[in-house]
């Protein structure tokens, strides 16, 4: 039998991935071709015919190489986003919600700001005071794992942005489904809730994240010029 790994390595080179990943890809594809060749030999074909037929199953090695590189790049991008955005953003969200639930359970009745015609805003001031620390935690995590400015901002404030979008969606659905409440009252209520549960918490989160939104020395250092 031929050296399948050598054959695959020659046809896939250059493959712009890490050396270990390159070896794994070569081994996986070589094993597949070798299994196909052995099956053909067991079916009665000569070794030469089996080898030629197995190789013919790969119509275009350039296309295979391009497909592998695209898949690897997409996986790298996904891993990067999980590392610098989704994981710190999820942990920041959990921490914020745990603190809110805890203060709701142990604190005395929170202050209530009455606004207009029964529209009111409940303020959990202890939770708000903790939000700068929560935002700093998310931005620091994202920065430590290589996140850029946008990812640090989102990691710090993702859950509040999602909550604001949900409130906006609920407001739009209410406009369509319920005509009993006057539009003016709806707008006032929406503005109050966005201010209390969207703008103010987001501002406090980003205030805490601010020290970690500055550029690292690695980001601001100019690239060396080759001589």
Mean pLDDT of the residues in the chain: 82
pLDDT, tens digit (0-9, with 9 covering 90-100), for 193-218? 888 889 999 999 999 999 998 876 45
222 pLDDT above the threshold of 60: no
Contact 27, 9 (CB under 8 A): no
Give the pLDDT confidence score for residue 85 in this predicted structure.
Answer: 92
Q: How far apart are CA 174 and CA 179, in angstroms?
A: 8
Give the pLDDT confidence score for residue 216 in this predicted structure.
Answer: 62
Contact 135, 208 (CB under 8 A): yes
Residue 157: which pLDDT band, with cuts at 50, 70 and 90?
Answer: very high
The answer to pTM > 0.75 is: no
Q: How far apart are CA 166 and CA 139, in angstroms?
A: 23
Is the torsion defined by CA of 10, 16, 17, 19 positive or negative? positive
Long-range contacts of 12-18 (CB under 8 A, 24+ apart): 12/61, 12/64, 12/65, 12/68, 15/65, 15/68, 15/69, 16/69, 17/68, 17/69, 17/72
> Residue ranges of the alpha helices (H) in 110-199?
125-144, 149-177, 183-194
Give 41 or 116, the one with higher predicted confidence.
41
């Amino acid at each position: 039998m031929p050296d399948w790994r050598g054959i695959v390595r020659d046809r896939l080179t250059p493959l712009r991935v890490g050396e270990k990943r390159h070896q794994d890809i070569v081994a996986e594809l070589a094993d597949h071709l070798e299994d196909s060749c052995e099956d053909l030999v067991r079916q009665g074909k000569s070794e030469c015919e089996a080898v030629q037929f197995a190789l013919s199953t790969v119509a275009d090695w350039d296309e295979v190489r391009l497909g592998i590189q695209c898949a690897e790049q997409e996986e790298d991008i996904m891993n990067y986003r999980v590392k610098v955005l989704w994981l710190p953003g999820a942990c920041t969200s959990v921490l914020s919600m745990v603190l809110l639930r805890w203060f709701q359970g142990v604190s005395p009745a929170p202050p209530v700001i009455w606004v207009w015609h029964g529209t009111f805003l409940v303020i959990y001031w202890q939770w708000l005071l903790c939000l700068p620390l929560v935002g700093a935690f998310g931005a620091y995590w994202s920065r430590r794992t290589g996140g850029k400015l946008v990812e640090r901002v989102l990691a710090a404030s993702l859950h509040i942005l999602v909550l604001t979008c949900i409130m906006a969606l609920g407001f739009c659905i209410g406009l369509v489904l319920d005509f009993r409440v006057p539009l003016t009252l709806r707008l006032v209520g929406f503005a109050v809730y966005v201010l209390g549960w969207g703008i103010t918490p987001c501002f406090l989160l980003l205030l805490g994240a601010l020290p970690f939104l500055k550029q690292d020395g690695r980001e601001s250092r100019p690239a060396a010029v080759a001589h």
